[in-house]
Chains A and B, each alone.
Chain A
Amino acid sequence: GQQVMQIPQYQHVQEGEDFTTYCNSSTTLSNIQWYKQRPGGHPVFLIQLVKSGEVKKQKRLTFQFGEAKKNSSLHITATQTTDVGTYFCAGPSNTGNQFYFGTGTSLTVIP
């Protein structure tokens, strides 16, 4: 079946260091979404990428969709303690009726 894998599972960084999480799908995706979940909270939508090779930026966050539309990455520049949380990617099924979430990357930022 369709799978969405994410690495690493955990990442500890010093405040000010950069952070990257990678997402890989077993199938080509029509789009990919990224969500952030703060500790004890619920997932919150960050962004959606649709085009092959697309790059989008939100302040210190850079999102990229691979040329083959099977992988994606989220890069945070100069992490801050407010970046703490788990970052998930999600891709739609072939029918588009449901989403498959990656296993998530838990980011800890050490002050």
Chain B
Amino acid sequence: NAGVTQTPKFQVLKTGQSMTLQCAQDMNHNSMYWYRQDPGMGLRLIYYSASEGTTDKGEVPNGYNVSRLNKREFSLRLESAAPSQTSVYFCASSQPSYSVEETQYFGPGTRLLVL
């Protein structure tokens, strides 16, 4: 099992350009998440999807859109990139359960620089 995979690993954009970050998981998890990580800020939730076909805003959704394409895939789109979106982006997935530990599994991250 590959777990959670993300593409690309690195990306440099110019202000105003658009791009889509891809995420896929092969653990049959219902829930998927997009976080951004900035120095001193920890991990902040951008969007999440509790199940296929549903998406909800997290703490910092402005400037982003998401698509839960199917149970496996959850993409994050920047329509018009801004320097403030320079960050490391992590995708994660989990299987909600009240009886066992609900572990979040993270992908390797995408390092994005917006000039």
Question: Which A residues fall within an 8 A CB radius of B?
Answer: 1, 6, 9, 31, 33, 35, 41-45, 47-48, 88, 90, 92, 96-104
Contact = CB atoms under 8 A, between A and B. Distances in A.
Nearest to B33: A98
A36 to B, nearest CB: 11
Contacts of A42: 90, 106-109
Contacts of A100: 45, 59
Contact of B96 (A9, A45, A96): A96
A9 B39 CA distance: 10
Interface size class of B (residues with CB under 8 A): 20 to 34
Contacts of A98: 33, 45, 48, 56, 58
Contacts of A9: 40
A83 B92 CA distance: 23
